[in-house]
Chain A
Amino acid sequence: MHAVVFLTAIILPCGAVQAQFVQITSGTPQQLHTDETSIDNIEDRTDWQAYTGAIEEDGGTLWFRQPIRLDWTNPLHANNPLALTVQVRGLYHAYWDGHLVASNHHRGAAASEFSRLMLPVSDIEEGDHWLYFRIEGVGLKAGDSVRLGVFPTDLSSDFFGVHFTVIIVFLVSTSSLIASAYFLYVGAQGTRRWTCRVAAVTTFLAGSLMYLDRARFLTPYPYSWQPAIEAAMAAMTVSFMVGLAAYAALRLKLAKPAFWALGAFGAIVTALPETMPFDTDTRALMLLGFYMLMLCAYAHRTEPRRAALLAGGIGVGMLALLVQPDQKMLFVATVTLLFGIELGVDLHRRKSEAQRLALLSSRLRGDLLRQNIKPHFLMNSLTALMEWIETSPEDAIDYIDGLAEEFRTLSDFSGRNAVSFREELALCEIHLALMSKRLESSITLKTSNIDPDVLVPPAVFHTLIENALSHNDYRGKQVELELCVLKSAQGTVYEFRAPAEGHKPSGLNTGFGTRYVLARLEEFYGKAFRFTSDQIGSFWVSRIELSKG
């Protein structure tokens, strides 16, 4: 994957600004191939050749020299130090009039392409001078160019050039890593699990790529690391591109996102032939951008807002690539910005959602208790108790005992967002026993395929039973209610069946109980459920369908 060695070209011209106080004229540059390390032995050599930049053997050393004339345009500023920006692929030592003035020490070939050289004030007298470079082409092969370039540089660019850009890049890459951690956290909570995982990996790769690239610029490291770093960056770049395509497919809710993610490989392979004037990296990123724009267009009808947001981010990134093809970092930064916006929107939405759920949860707690002390249930129970006290006190005691147990359970449930099926069924049994006694009936609940340890929202099935008892006439009858769990590849279905008895029920979809059920289901399952309640034959059938994932 040599063709996609991302970010090997340093993006900063780092202030190639003509120094304003010195008029510089330079003579013909020359080169000399020798392993000689002493400047003293070089200055007298007569076999200098015209400069081409190419080295003769793998990792070979090349000496470079060039005469330079300095003329003061404003003598008042003659005491300013002279700064030069050096671009070179190799290890260099720079000499000014035979004195060693700078070196990039042991930086790698790719990492040290640009550096800054400062000439002391004492050494920059007006007149003719010689600038020498000893360049070791570490990592270069015979015939490769050291790509030497030296530019007079305004000192102010030290900050506003190199450092400022580095700071920005570090800020952006740090944001990427923070975003990655956030997506990991959100994914661990179970919300949009796959989208969050892919987003976490992709933002991590983006941040890491930017760090690696900038760190090469600032931090010395052994030359031997260079091939491994470049290979890692190539692999990370490919992964980043695939992750980006996968993220786009997931966010756009396309079916089979893994398939769409493979499109990134298509972009990379297509970029290999030199069909455009840009380098391979730029071509690959441009093609990936086009590919993702096509995905956005494909999905704009179903997900218009997300498609627009993604297309906007990708479009800006591609524009940056078109304007300055060498500055691939801008593409990554734009993508990071896109993730940042996504993060902000998501955070805002989650905060609003959390507030809404907190309110909902609080209201549901009240609703649960209110539902069970509502007049029809409580007052009829108390009236029945009065009758039993006057006619059959033992029945009254039994009923009060059951009523207390139901209220204790409901009170416990009201402070929770989930209960086990075992607890829920126990509550249902208590309620059925009470109602059987009050209605002089025998009402039982038949269950099948239920895992008692599965968590369910509290008092939902209890409410469905309560609804069935309120809307049907079960007095003096033997009634069997049914609750079963159906599992399939699509998900899980909880099905509750109640015989439609006596009256034509007015429907179970409009009452307070059903609103409670819907609110609880939404609180617990989010949007991943569907609730229906219809009369099917001689039964009222309520179904809670939970989709997988």
Chain B
Amino acid sequence: MAFNLLIVEDEPLVAKRLVRLSGEVMGERIASSRLAIDIRSARGVLADEPIDLILLDLNLTGKDGFDLLREFTAKAAHTIVVSAETDRAIEAFDLGVLDFVAKPFTRARLEKALVRFDPSASGGELRAGGITPPPCAKQVAFEVGPRVETVDVNDIIYFKGADKYSEATLKNGSIKFHSKPLSRLETILSGKFIRSHKSFLVHIEAIKALRSREGSRYEIDLADGHSLPIGRTRVDHVRRLLAARETAPA
């Protein structure tokens, strides 16, 4: 499926390189490729067009890009950071970026990052080596009006898919909307969250019990007292998770 790409980069030659290499790697999978040389124009593109992937430089004309990163990870699009500030890669992953590509970068390194976004673009070598998911984010950024709020992932019980958006239920009972669909959240939260159902992404620690219902249906009981349906293909996986948790040392 073709996707829309936004490149946010103020260095002309680096931007050229990103455009050229992403085009070579993704070919016709890129429906449109837009280039923004500063934050203002990047915001404009994001407001006007359904962007799926952002390649973001963290240092734009001397500005600290991490405030921008919070803002961008709250968007529907996945974000891949392309930056020289490698010492801040962990911080970027904590905010839920798909990958962190250090400058200077080769075509192979950029391809690896792009394949994380679209595994169908993987060549033979990458497919053979497997595509590792990114580290699980530690915080999730939500757009709340004009502001961006970050929430610790351990304070979220589950996400519920709602069309192209997601609805997060927090431990304190509040509900927040996230612009990303469940599939994208699943990518950046794998390891701590499980896709229990096509419409639910649940924090593993929040699952208290697995319960069968009539008609070969199953449900999971959650820490907050709610129950959620679970897909048949996921039952065994959840059962194994719960068993492993019971035998694990306290």
A residues with a Cβ closer than 8 A to B are 375-376, 378-380, 382-388, 391, 438-440, 470-473, 475-476, 502-503, 505-506, 511
Contact = CB atoms under 8 A, between A and B. Distances in A.
A473 B10 contact: yes
Contact of A473 (B13, B59, B61): B61
Interface in B106-128: 106
* A-B complex: 4 closest residue pairs judged by Cβ atoms: A379-B84, A375-B84, A382-B104, A384-B13
B11 interface: yes
B239 to A, nearest CB: 47
A475 B13 CA distance: 10
Given A379-B104, A380-B11, A385-B104, A502 B38 contact: yes
Contacts of B106: 386
Nearest to B106: A386
B38 A473 contact: yes
B84 A380 contact: yes
19 contacts: A375-B84, A375-B85, A376-B59, A379-B104, A380-B11, A380-B103, A382-B103, A383-B11, A383-B17, A385-B104, A386-B17, A386-B104, A387-B13, A387-B17, A387-B20, A439-B12, A475-B37, A506-B62, A511-B62
Contact of A471 (B17, B62, B83, B84): B62
B12 A476 contact: yes
Contacts of A380: 11, 14, 84, 103
A378 B102 CA distance: 12
Given A382-B103, A473-B61, A475-B10, 6 more contacts: A383-B103, A386-B106, A440-B12, A502-B38, A502-B61, A503-B63
A513 to B, nearest CB: 10
Interface residues of B, number: 23
Contacts of A376: 59, 62, 84-85
A208 B37 CA distance: 76
Given A380-B103, A382-B104, A473-B37, A388 B62 contact: no
B86 interface: yes
Given A384-B11, A472-B61, A473-B37, A378 B17 contact: no
B234 interface: no
B20 to A, nearest CB: 8
Interface string B1-29: 00000000011111011001000000000
B66 interface: no
B62 A384 contact: no
A381 to B, nearest CB: 8
A511 B102 CA distance: 23
Contacts of B10: 473, 475
Contact of B14 (A384, A391, A471, A506): A384
Contacts of A471: 61-62
Nearest to B63: A506
Contacts of B104: 379, 382-383, 385-386
A120 to B, nearest CB: 94
Interface in B49-95: 59, 61-63, 83-86
Contacts of A505: 62
Contacts of B105: 383, 386
B14 A503 contact: no
Contacts of A503: 38, 61, 63
B61 A470 contact: yes
Given A383-B104, A439-B12, A378 B84 contact: yes
Contacts of B11: 380, 383-384, 438-439
Nearest to A440: B12
Given A387-B16, A473-B37, A375 B103 contact: yes
A512 to B, nearest CB: 11
Nearest to B40: A503
Contacts of A385: 104
Nearest to B107: A390
Contacts of A502: 38, 61
Nearest to A384: B13
Contacts of B16: 387
A27 B85 CA distance: 105
Given A379-B104, A382-B104, A473-B37, A387 B61 contact: no
Q: Taking each of A383, A471, A472, which has the highest tally of chain B beta carbons within 10 Å of its own beta carbon? A: A383
Given A375-B85, A503-B38, A383 B13 contact: yes
Nearest to A388: B13
A470 B60 CA distance: 9
Contacts of A470: 61-62
A471 B37 CA distance: 14
A379 B103 contact: yes
A384 B14 CA distance: 6
Contact of A438 (B13, B59, B61, B86): B13
Nearest to B85: A375
Nearest to B88: A375
Interface in B140-175: none
A388 B105 CA distance: 13
A376 B103 CA distance: 9
A309 to B, nearest CB: 48
A254 B250 CA distance: 76
Contacts of B61: 470-473, 502-503
Nearest to A399: B13
Contact of A383 (B14, B59, B63, B86): B14
A286 to B, nearest CB: 66
A382 B14 CA distance: 10
A379 B13 CA distance: 12
A184 to B, nearest CB: 49
Contacts of B59: 375-376
Contacts of B14: 380, 383-384, 387
